């Protein structure tokens, strides 16, 4: 099952990699919208917006509902939780590393053991 989860996470990050798709998700966070409404502020064709929406659908981030000729999209935030979980590990990792660096920079140089070499610490 790990392979399936990794593939799904890859699709989520691929979908989030594009600024147009991120803006589409941001607009959908306010609620369900027609595809035409979603496309209005973008300087690209309706067909291009539809392609972006398909990528978001494949990643599970958007659900499309068809009513007659109208296509409605809404945000599906659940896949973002897996991405957030993956990112949070690295947030903790970098926080720990940066805290250690800060402590090392604040440490009194007299507290540091001399480097190998001469008795006074010179090489």
Q: What is the pLDDT of residues 3-40, one digit of tens each?
A: 446 788 999 999 999 999 999 999 999 999 999 999 99
Which CATH number is associated with domain 2-78?
A: 1.10.10.10
pLDDT at 89 over 90: no
Q: What is the pLDDT of residue 115?
A: 63
pTM given for the model: 0.70
Q: What is the pLDDT of residue 90?
A: 77
The angle subtended at Cα 98 by Cα 92 and Cα 104, nearest 5°, is 140
Q: Give 71-75 contacts, CB < 8 A, sequence gap 24+.
A: 71/34, 71/35, 72/32, 72/33, 72/34, 72/35, 73/28, 73/32, 73/33, 73/34, 73/35, 73/38, 74/28, 74/31, 74/32, 74/33, 75/25, 75/28, 75/29
Q: What is the pLDDT of residues 36-79, one digit of tens each?
A: 999 999 999 999 999 999 999 999 999 999 999 999 999 999 99
Q: What is the pLDDT of residue 87?
A: 86
Per domain, the residue ranges of the chain are: 2-78
pLDDT band of residue 113 (cuts 50, 70, 90) is low
Q: What is the pLDDT of residue 3?
A: 44
């Amino acid at each position: 099952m790990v392979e399936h989860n990794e593939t799904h996470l890859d699709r989520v990050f691929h979908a989030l990699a594009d600024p147009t798709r991120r803006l589409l998700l941001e607009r959908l966070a306010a609620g369900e919208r027609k595809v035409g409404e979603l496309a209005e502020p973008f300087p690209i064709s309706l067909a291009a917006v539809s392609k972006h929406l398909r990528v978001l659908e494949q990643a599970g981030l958007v659900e499309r509902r068809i009513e007659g000729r109208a296509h409605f999209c809404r945000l599906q935030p659940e896949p973002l939780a897996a991405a957030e979980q993956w990112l949070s590990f690295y947030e903790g990792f970098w926080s720990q590393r940066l805290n250690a660096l800060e402590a090392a920079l604040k440490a009194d140089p007299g507290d540091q053991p001399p480097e190998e070499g001469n008795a006074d610490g010179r090489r």
